[in-house]
Structure 1
Amino acid sequence: MHYRQDIIEVFSTFAQLEADRFRKWLTDPKLRRSIKKCLEHTPEASNAEIFWGIYWHKHWQNQSHSLAKMHLSAYLQEPCYWAAEKTVAKFTNNQYSLADHFQLANAEVENILKGFKPEISNNLQAYAQMAIPTRLRDILRQRKEADGCTNWALLRKVSKKQVLASLSHAGLSPAMIAQHRLAWCCFKELYIQNQAGGNSKLPEPNRQLWEDVANLYNSERLNQLTQQTPQSSPDIIEQWLTRTAIYLRAYLYPPMDSLDALKSKNDYNIIWDLPDPSSDSLIADILAQEDAQNSQNKLSQINDVLLKALHECNPQSQEILKLYYQQELTQQDIIKQLQISQPTVSRRLIKARESLLAALINWSQETLNISLTSNQIKDMSNVLEEWLRTDYSQFNLISQSS
């Protein structure tokens, strides 16, 4: 099985960083044993990484193998690292290091696996290369915005779903969650009413506001809370909401622990229950659906299709797309630079995206024989947006330097 050594390494090793630089690959013995067992039981399977990426993704989807996510995390180490390095270079005033970005990227693996659609593209690593940089940029913008927020501004902008999730994550009892939720609802209603405009630098709540919030809470608790609770004072309400803001920050923007720390020797000797990974039906299913060797060209075909569709757009639309996606200008910046109206910019962006999506859908139907549902079209639209923000920008930069 020596000729399959590359597959073993790809799905069982993790990158170690030191002094904010890549140092070496660390092999996880339990993953190594797992992938070797797979290869021994499936000699007919392909040697292509794409094939085994789909294999483990199907196991992850079906929850039929306890190590599937770990194998996929190992597989996506390189996309995570390169996305982190690219983001560090782009966000020069960023407070986070390369190791921090790498940690953030690894934390997004679960979301990447959820967003990947094998029926649209069978190359998980190529999808991750497009999706991870986009997710990192969004996370950094959110963190920057949150870091500049007071507790009260943060409480004002979050949703009820986020509040409930953060309170539950903090371990509060259902009764306490209900009380904190109601206090937040009362605060949000009164704090917004008492402010003028959309100023993000809101003043500190004064004593009168806390008294008003407490009065509203004590009135609403009789109808809103299922359990009988005593009245709450303004000081108690302020304490609850301060804690709620702390819980929200911890839930939405958890602190980043170092991934670089060397594990102790015992960490590599954990006994894992390794289910039989041979799964003949799964292997047969993948082999029947995908020819891994032929499908490696799909990504380049998609690039060709989208670039051709881009060239067919009118010159003004092409210019707007470049400014919006490559230079990351806002619509207001584009209006000033091109001296055109806001409706024109918005309309050009929408029509250009629609043209590109139509080209991608037509290619999928004609080349892949896929009959797309509305949900699949929505997923494809997300893939298009990621392509515009990553591959399209890179292509233009490469073209200009050639």
Structure 2
Amino acid sequence: MGVTASSSMARNHLSAYLQEACFWAAQKTYQRFKLLQYKYSIEEYFQIANSGVNPPEKIFKSFDFEYSHTNIEGYAKTAIFRFINNTIYRHDLEAKRVKFSDYGLLKDLSHKELREALISKGITQAKSDTYYLVWQCFDEIYQPNQSQGSRSLEPPSQKHLKQIADYYNQRLNKIEISAVPASEEKIKEMLETCIQAARDYRTKRFIPLDNSDYMSDSTPTLWDTAIQEEEREQVQSLIARLFEEIPETGQILLKLSQGLNLTQIEIANVLKNKFPELQKQYQVARQLGKYNNTFLKNFINEWNKIDPEIRLSDERDIERIKNSLSECLQSHCQKMFYTTLDRTVKQYAHEKKI
């Protein structure tokens, strides 16, 4: 048998092997895009998946075959799932539109995303602080009702805008930001700027993948590897354990920053009496950076032990999962505050009855 025939047979075997991964990814995508089920069937997603693995060897372009613990099937499933999703987002405007309403997008944003979105829009650091504060006030004041949900959140009413403006102006007086008080109209304008910046930012973050090199940056992210619910629980459990290992100062800083979304200036004002070394914004920024980086590296080391399916080792890997891990850490810190608040409220209600 010639080399060409052998290569052809190997390619056919690899294509057959990938069919199960293609079908799995098609099913997952069908479940994800519930609002598009009238338009796309599982079979159509399956066809898209197959177009992404033709020829089959390109899916493994950046796969590390020398890493003995790597799970080839898991790698293929995740990579194909991402390819289908990217294809739909690239070609279907409705898919982009139905994911979030304008104000639903603001609810979905992490504070890190908004910071980077504003910077990418050309807004200076000093000015971005005011937009960030408006977003914080919006996030705290304007809550979706149970039937509506945050994904399809409607624009705030004039009453809500006034509440947001009042809260914004109140907080503005307490922190060291050089800005004038804002009216309801100004608040609305600033929120719309945040929305546009976020939409542009997320569009830029999406990189179209062509047929020749779409797998060149295909190492899955943290949440790509945590599609399964049990893996999500592993991630949250690891985050909780690593958080407890952080020194008290670091825990407090992360709780205030990630849990309450306080600005670095606000954190300095809160902590300056207890921690003299944290009286200035730059001191808080330096310590937050240190603890965030340490947490990130510790997470990668531990996650490689738990699930070596994907090798996370170099600086590219760190950058690749940084945003996802920041969101996980934020969720953990917020959950701690909510749990404490809920316990306090219940205790107060019990004491009041007595």
- TM class by smaller structure: 0.3 to 0.5
TM-score when normalising by structure 2: 0.40
Normalised by the size of structure 1, how large is the TM-score?
0.36
Tell me which structure has the larger Cα radius of gyration.
Answer: 1
